[in-house]
Amino acid sequence: EVQLQQSGPELRRPGSSVKLSCKASGYSITDYLMHWVKHRPEHGLEWIGWIDPEDGETKYAQKFQSKATLTADTSSNTAYMQLSSLTSEDTATYFCARSYGYTYYFDYWGQGVMVTVSS
C-alpha cells in the first residue's frame, strides 16, 4: 500500500528555518516525482515545486525559488523540503504528493504537516 508519511507539526521563530520530511512506503521514490504543496485556508492551495529523486532534478514555482529547497534521500525513501527565512506568511499546512513521470497530477498525498511561525 502506497503511503506518504509526513513529519509532525512544527513551531518556529521568524527568521529561522525548518526541514520537513515525507517518507514513502509501498513504492520506490525514484519511480515518481515528489511535489510539495502549501495550503492556507484564505489563500487556497499553492504548488511549491517538485523533485525527481532519481537524479535530484528540481523545478520550483518562481515565488518559492528562494524560499524552499527540495531534496531526497533514496536510501531512506524520503523526500525533504527546507523552508528558510521563515515569516508569518509561511504559516500553513504543507503536503507532499507524488506524480508519475511528467504527468503532474497527484495520485497520492501525504497527510500534511502544520508549520506555525510565531515569535
Partner 1 sequence: DIRMTQSPASLSASLGETVNIECLASEDIYSDLAWYQQKPGKSPQLLIYNANSLQNGVPSRFSGSGSGTQYSLKINSLQSEDVATYFCQQYNNYPLTFGSGTKLEIK
CB-based contact 102:96 (threshold 8 Å) = no
3-state secondary structure of 8: coil
Binding residue for partner 1 (CB under 8 A) from 61, 77, 91, 116?
61
In the complex with partner 1, the residue whose CB is nearer, 13 or 105, is: 105
Q: What's the grid cell of residue 16?
A: 529561522
31 touches partner 1 by CB under 8 A: no
Stretch that binds partner 1, among 14-22, 23-31, 77-85, 97-105 (CB under 8 A): 97-105
Distance in angstroms (rounded) separating the CA atoms of residues 56 and 35:
13
Residues that bind partner 1 (CB under 8 A): 35, 44-47, 59, 61-63, 95, 97, 103-112
